[in-house]
Structures are given as structure tokens and as C-alpha cells.
Amino acid sequence: MNTAPLAALLAAAWLGLVGLLWYSETGKRPVLCWNAAPGWQSRSHSGAWLLLLIALLIRLLPAFLLQSGAQYDLAAYEIVGRSLDEGTSPYQLSDPYLYPYLPLHLYLEWGIWRLAQGTGLPFTALIKIPAIIADGAISLLIYRLAYCRSLSIPAAWRLALSYALNPTALVITAYHGQFDAIPLALLLGAWALVPVSWRHIGSTSQPGQAQGAAPTPPLLLGLGCGLILGLATAEKTWPALWLLLFWFSAPGTALSAPIWRNLVRPGAWARGLLAGFLLPLVLILLPFWQDLPAVAGRVIGYTPLVGAWGIPGIAYALAYLAGGSGTAAAEIVAAGWRWIALIPLAAAGLLYRPWLPSQWPRAGLAFTLLLYVVAPGFGVQYLIWALPFLALSGEGVFLRRYTMVTTLFLGIWYLAFPLAARLIPALPGKDTPATTLVFMVMPMLALWLILLRWSAQFYRRQSWLTASEE
């Protein structure tokens, strides 16, 4: 008996219920004032544990009870865990997409594979637990950051709940089984340390910042920030794209200093950042030093789903509409765009720097939106990246629109297309150009165009991008 349609219907019902719950609990978001004096008062924060419990339970139940929507990824995790247990390097496996990352996460896959073998519990459910815990940590971090800056305990709790119950995050972590929540939690923690460093170190041109000797050495503050960012990159490589943004945000330098100063004459914080960033990468690569060419080839050569997103997606869509005659030209566009896209990302580090001390959540959101716009390819797990920055930026309307559209997209991607393919025998073969265009390229391009429009609207209303703060 084919139970796939029933499983898809159950998953759709779960997604619908979670979406209704989230929508009912997220009203107008409070406006956060990141210039407010920070503090963590000695009050009861027992609600934070309830928040964590909600974030975990609402993910653990579907992780164990629902059939996953990403069988290839879960099978890849299991193959990697088993191969490492057998003494085979995952970087020597024939399929380059089984593990195209740095080695940190594969130890989790190996440990959970051993746990599944020892307990008899399903590997496909156990492998989701680390990312589920990371989602809970993100919820707590949002609560802590919001409360320390401007919100009451109930308001901060409600803001964090907007992530804990967010259906887009739930689908990606608990249903799909992707682990982007782990590097996202680390990245958010590292990014939140930037304004902390500004307060400790001070700036010669930023009013209200501490002057004179810093309580904590700048080198140690930068080192801590770099270590967390390095761990995030060792877990999954996309946080490395944030390195220049961190570098140009270096506290302790005059905001009016030349932009290139941190490149040619880095301060103590910037030097600590770079040392901390490189340390976990070097340590995690040491056991694989004989496989370094293979590791580098997998990591650098990996691209997400190309041909259905952004500028390369438009090129491939035109090629498909032309009957496939322009496929070679589309491949050239995709290969070149992968490196051209790094230019606006580097420029963003220069553009955002003067406003980072007090506007760091919006700078983080602006950079994430830029990543979406210029990305040469796409993975549905990328949609989780913007969620904590949307919440912390006080972008309530944007958060609602983003969540509703991305949840609808994920529902169509995971549930409607596979269900239609099974229930409608007359559906064209999945390998034909027409089906690829209709079922893959067009939905992703539509989502990209929506995000492009929303990003442009967000940028236009940011006065901090065109005028410095007073």
C-alpha cells in the first residue's frame, strides 16, 4: 500500500495548524530601540524555559511522527555516518553532494548513527535533534537580546515566540531535516557580540561610547567573536560570507577612518577576529590533512541548486523557453555569476560599517537579503537565515509577509508537487525540460522576484543607509 499521499496530507495538516497558531500569536511587533541602555536585570526569567520547551516540543513531535520531506538528504547523512564509522573518508565517496561541507558536522552524523545503531531509534529522527536544539537556542537568544535592549519580559517573550513557532523554521528543521539552524545560531551569537565589543572598546567618533581603557582587551573580544564565526563556518560554509562584514565592523576604530584601514592596518579586534575565525577551521581540518585537496574540491566546487534562482535562473529559463538551444550560454552565466556575486557582498561590508554599533540587527537583515538577491543558486534551507534578523529588527509586517509566502512555497515544494506526481498519472515525466521549467524553475524564480521586490522596499526605507546617526 502506497502511504505517501496520506503522509503528505498529514504533513500538510500539521503545517496548516502550525501556521494558524503562529499567525494568531504574532500581532503587531514592538519597535525595538537598539540605542537603549542594555541590561539583564535580576528578575525571574522562568518564562525563558517555557519558551525553550515550546520550541523543542513543537519540532520533536513532527521529527519523530511525520515522514520527512527530504529523503535524499537524510539518506546522505546516514551514508556519511556509516562511512566514517567504517573508516572511509566521506570526501572519497563517489557522490560529491553527499557531504560538500567542512568536516565538523560529519562527527555529529557519525555519533548519531552510532546512537541509532545502539538504541534502535530511527536515524532519520535522531539526526534532526541537533538542529532542533539550535532552533531552541535561537529562540532564547532572541529573547535575551530583545529584553536586554528595550522590551519588557512579556514583549521579549512574544518576540522570541515569533521564531519558536515560525512555520518556515519548523518545516526546514523538523520536517526537512536540514541543519542550517546550527550555523545560524552561532552566527547570530557572533553578530550580537559586535555591539558588545563597541560598548567595551568605544569609538572616537560615536557619541555615548566608552572612552579610554577597555575593561576587556580588544584582542580577546575579537577572538571570541571570530571563534564563534569560525565554528559556524566549520559547521556549514555559508557563514564565511559574513567575514568581511565582521572585519569592516571592527570596534575601536574611528568611524570616520578610511574604509580600507582594517584591510591594511587591522586593529587588535580585527586581528583577534581573524585568528579566532581560522583556529577552528585549522583544527577541524587536521584529521583530514591527507584529504585536503578532496575537501577543498568539495567545499569550493559545491553550488546549491543552480538554474532556478536569481540571474542564472533567468538565463536557464530563457534557455528552456528556447527549446534548450541556449543551455551552454546559461551554464556560462551561472559559472561566472558565482564569482561576480562576491563583489556586492564585499561592498556591503563597506556600506554598512558606519551604522553597525546601534543598527546591527538591520545591518544583518540587509546583508541576508542581499545574499538572497545575488545568490547563484538556491536551497530551501536558506529561507531560515532571515527569520531571527526580521524579528530583532522589529520588521513585523515584513516578518508576516515573508513567513506566509515562504511557508506557502515550502508547502507547494514538499507536499503539492510530490502528491500531484503520484495522484495524477498523466503528469509529464519529471526529466523533461517543460516539467523542469514548470515545477522547479518558475516557482523558485517567482519567489526570488518577490524577495527582490521586498528587499528593494526594505533598502529604500532605511535612512541609516544614507545618513549617519546623530
Do 167 and 59 reside in the same domain of the chain?
yes
344 or 206, greater pLDDT: 344
What's the Cα-to-Cα distance from 193 to each of 248, 262, 349, rounded to whole Å?
14, 18, 17
309: left (phi over 0), alpha (psi -120 to 50) or beta: beta
d(CA 149, CA 139): 16
CB contact set of 455 (below 8 Å; sequence gap of 6+)? 369, 370, 372, 373
Do 55 and 168 reside in the same domain of the chain?
yes
Do 63 and 149 reside in the same domain of the chain?
yes
Do 129 and 196 reside in the same domain of the chain?
no
Q: Is residue 121 part of a domain?
A: yes
Q: Is residue 258 part of a domain?
A: yes
Phi, psi of 208 (to 5 degrees): 85, -5
Do 282 and 247 reside in the same domain of the chain?
yes
Do 164 and 200 reside in the same domain of the chain?
no
Contact of 196 with 428, CB cutoff 8 Å: no
Last residue of one domain, picked from the residues 227, 255, 287: 287
Q: Which of 369, 329, 384 is nearest to 170 (CA)?
A: 384
Q: Is residue 52 part of a domain?
A: yes
103-117, 134-148, 426-440, 454-468, range with the lowest pLDDT = 426-440
Do 253 and 185 reside in the same domain of the chain?
yes
For the cut 80, the answer to whether the pLDDT of residue 239 exceeds it is yes
How confident is the prediction for the chain on average, in pLDDT? 79
Q: Is residue 184 part of a domain?
A: yes
CB atoms closer than 10 angstroms to residue 48: 18
pLDDT (tens digit per residue) in 145-190: 888 766 677 888 888 988 999 999 999 999 888 999 999 999 999 9
For residue 76, list its beta bridge partners.
none
Q: Which domain holds residue 194?
A: 180-205+214-287
Do 139 and 220 reside in the same domain of the chain?
no
Do 86 and 116 reside in the same domain of the chain?
yes
**Could you tell me the three cell numbers for 317?**
529559463
Q: Which of 184, 176, 245, 238 is nearest to 378 (CA)?
A: 238
Last residue of one domain, picked from the residues 253, 272, 287: 287
For the cut 60, the answer to whether the pLDDT of residue 27 exceeds it is no
Do 117 and 198 reside in the same domain of the chain?
no
Do 83 and 104 reside in the same domain of the chain?
yes
378: helix, coil or strand?
A: strand
Per-residue DSSP letter, 287: G
Q: Is residue 447 part of a domain?
A: no
- Mean pLDDT on 226-253: 86
d(CA 119, CA 64): 15
CB contact set of 432 (below 8 Å; sequence gap of 6+)? none
For the cut 70, the answer to whether the pLDDT of residue 467 exceeds it is no
Which ranges constitute the DSSP H helices of 236-354? 243-248, 261-264, 268-285, 292-301, 310-321, 327-340, 342-352
Do 54 and 103 reside in the same domain of the chain?
yes
Q: Is residue 134 part of a domain?
A: yes
Q: Is residue 407 part of a domain?
A: no
Last residue of one domain, picked from the residues 254, 287, 320: 287
Q: Is residue 167 part of a domain?
A: yes
Task: Tell me what pLDDT residue 44 has.
Answer: 54
* pTM exceeding the 0.85 threshold for the entire prediction: yes
What's the Cα-to-Cα distance from 307 to each of 196, 362, 441, rounded to whole Å?
41, 30, 7
Contact of 156 with 188, CB cutoff 8 Å: no
Query: In total, how many domains does the chain have?
Result: 2
For the cut 50, the answer to whether the pLDDT of residue 46 exceeds it is yes
For the cut 50, the answer to whether the pLDDT of residue 40 exceeds it is no
pLDDT (tens digit per residue) in 352-391: 665 555 677 888 898 899 999 998 888 889 999 999 999 9
∠ Cα 333 337 339 (to 5°): 135
